[in-house]
Structure 1
Amino acid sequence: MAPTVRVRRVYDPPSEADGSRVLVDRLWPRGLAKDAAALDEWCKDAAPSPGLRTWYGHDAAKFDEFARRYRGELRDADHAEALHHLRDLAHEGPLTLLTATKDPGISAAEVLGDELRARGGRRR
Structure 2
Amino acid sequence: MEAQYVFRATLRLASPRDAVTVDSATAETTVTLSRAAPPPGTDGWLFFRNALWRGEVGDQEYGRRLAAEWLDVPRESIESVSFRELQVDEAYFDALKAEIGADLEPFNAETVSEVLSKYLGSSIRVVDGE
Please identify which structure carries the higher helix content. 1
Q: TM-score, normalising length from structure 1?
A: 0.28
Q: TM-score, normalising length from structure 2?
A: 0.27
Please identify which structure carries the higher strand content. 2
Higher gyration radius (CA):
2
Q: Which has the higher contact order (CA 8 A, sep 6+)?
A: 1
